[in-house]
Structure 1
């Protein structure tokens, strides 16, 4: 079956006309299109709150049933309102059916998840305050609403969700929400999470044999502000190693994050980072020598008194040996910009 005249009236927000149609043919209220779309779905999707009010008042005793009908993708009218960013309609729908937990659609999205993802704070607050049991079950890719808020960098929504259910901070995806906040540089969320539970900083992200930590993630992403928050709340997390035996300085060099290198090496309390070998015996200097970071060697690293330029990796190579071996790929050096080629050899010389 296709759309009726009532569907059309709902689409264009003609509340008065819709009321007249329903007086003549009230059964149209329950009519669904080929995609299981009701008149309420359409009105909610278009944000026509007067039409929504009307539809919910026609059959007062059955309004919950009407609101719980799902579209072909599993969306309820509330899903539609939130997805289309109509917060006034969303708040009305929540108030009209507070007993409903508003489960996920076929894509595993709950209205709560969509509100967090879209930074719809008013709708989020209404769902959290009005629904007796709003579901926070895992959404797409096994992510919670808190994951969604953090990934989209919505700190206010993240804070609301943490206040509602702090255990969401510990729910893993490929990592917990702290790991995503560290990656994206959402400092306020990092501070809030660690203020609640410092041990989150020590939880790994990844698989059993290939994992990292929030400290490594922040260092690799160049998020100095986040790194500062982590070290301020958990002063010993600078010592943490990932599954490859690497510290935060290793990661900063691997990802050419000069600002992180400078930050980690300015205070003497983290000096030990510069001489620590990873599982392959590589110190941060070894990684520097083999990386594309050679165009700029941070002074804090090059001139550091604890930089062991004669340290050996598992192949018995010093950082200088590693740097020289990397010149093999320059056989066709005419294709390389002369300035970069010159800088490379200056950097090799600086490593001793």
Structure 2
């Protein structure tokens, strides 16, 4: 192992002639072949393979020499290992194949070699596909190589958006990724994810797609506009608002009965509030706490209730008959009414 790791070819050859076992594993499960693959010692790897070193042996993390060669970008070693009889797409303990690791690290020469193998098996493994690995690390060339040969796995668009790799987002959309595909946990589309994380560049690219559905809601009933407003992300909220003309969508509520106006007011997004009002946002919508958007601006429930009482008193004194929402929380029975 030490001789291989340091590339001492003559020493390796002498030890093998003296009967050194090629498949002995250390405490991490690494063999001499693992070491040679990771270090890129092609000649040492060739000598080990000639002596029958097993490409299939895995370390404590379930990785074979193929995994390490692909992960470290050792193209010449990988080529030698691929010539040896082995189950090419053995998965490690995380469900990742050598192709996953090559894509994650962005080694296109290794990716190309692996794609030349049995592609029906090459793309198998974890649900986090090789394409996910490429786009989440912004390896656009590797992603393109994958896309040229395979039908797009829709979920990678989320990975590209999550990391705000705009060129990968464009690439995936060009190859037909579904812009309205939602994840399984939060039921969020790529646009929702971009809005939630404040990735304005990705938001702009996704909004250019005519098929982008702005009415989609996640498990909490939030639209992409709700999510941008809830995080105080003014630019993202304004970009989305530019594309909305439907007043019903402007006044859409989440499970807490909050409109985008409630959330924008809470976060002090003055320009967004102004734009919402111009587009027909209702000021009388009441959330599940009994608060209208004006009361949602209050820093605490106690302040909101005080403000509600003052507003009601002002309206009574002035004789105002228009709608003013006051909180039903912490008021007397005679006061627990929404005006």
Q: CA deviation at 1:31?
A: 4.2
Indicate how the Cα distance of structure 1 residues 74 and 212 shifts in structure 2: closer, same or farther if over 3 A, else same. closer
What TM-score do the two structures reach when normalised by structure 1?
A: 0.74
The 1:37/1:241 distance shift into structure 2, 3 A limit, reads closer
* 2:151 aligned to which of 144, 166, 173: 166
Distance across 2 between alignment mates of 1:131 and 1:223: 38
| Cα 1:17/1:313, change in 2 over 3 Å | closer
- How has the CA–CA distance of structure 1 residues 138 and 234 changed in structure 2, closer, same or farther, with 3 Å as cutoff? farther
What is the CA distance between 1:314 and its match in structure 2?
4.3
Judge conservation of contact 2:264–2:272 (CA < 8 Å) in 1. no
Seen in structure 2, the aligned counterparts of structure 1 residues 158 and 301 have a Cα distance that, compared at 3 Å, is same
Aligned to 2:75: 87
Structure 2 counterpart of 1:153, from 120, 138, 141: 138
Distance 2:269 2:180 in 1: 33
Q: Which residue of 1 aligns with 2:297?
A: 323
* Correspondence 1:1-352 to 2 at 5 A: 7-22=1-16, 24-25=17-18, 27-35=19-27, 36-56=29-49, 58-59=50-51, 62=52, 66-94=54-82, 96-97=83-84, 100-131=87-118, 134-139=121-126, 142-167=127-152, 169-170=153-154, 176-197=155-176, 200-207=178-185, 210-266=186-242, 269=245, 273-290=249-266, 293-294=267-268, 297-298=271-272, 301=275, 304-324=278-298, 326=300, 328=302
* Count of residue pairs brought into register by the alignment: 303
Report which of the two has the higher share of helix.
1
Q: Please, which runs of 5 or more residues in structure 2 have no aligned partner?
A: 305-339
Deviation at 1:123, TM superposition (A): 0.8
| Maintained 8 Å contact 2:40/2:69 | yes
Describe the superposition over 1:125-172 as per-residue Cα deviations: whole angstroms up to 9, x where unpaired.
111114565443333xx42222222333323222222333225x14xx
C-alpha spacing 1:329/1:67, structure 2 compared with 1 (3 Å): farther
User: TM-score when scaled to structure 2?
Assistant: 0.77
Quote how far apart the aligned CAs of 1:268 are.
Answer: 6.1
1:197–1:267 distance in 2 versus 1, CA, 3 Å: closer
Provide, for residues 6-48 of structure 1, a one-character-per-residue CA deviation record: whole Å limited to 9, x for no partner.
x2321210112322333x32x4253413445332222112221
1:181-230 CA-partner distances (Å, limit 9, x unpaired):
222222233223333335x22222133xx422222111112223322332
Report deviation, 1:72: 3.8
Quickly say closer, same or farther: Cα 1:223–1:325, change in 2 above 3 A.
closer
Give how far 1:263 is off.
Answer: 1.3
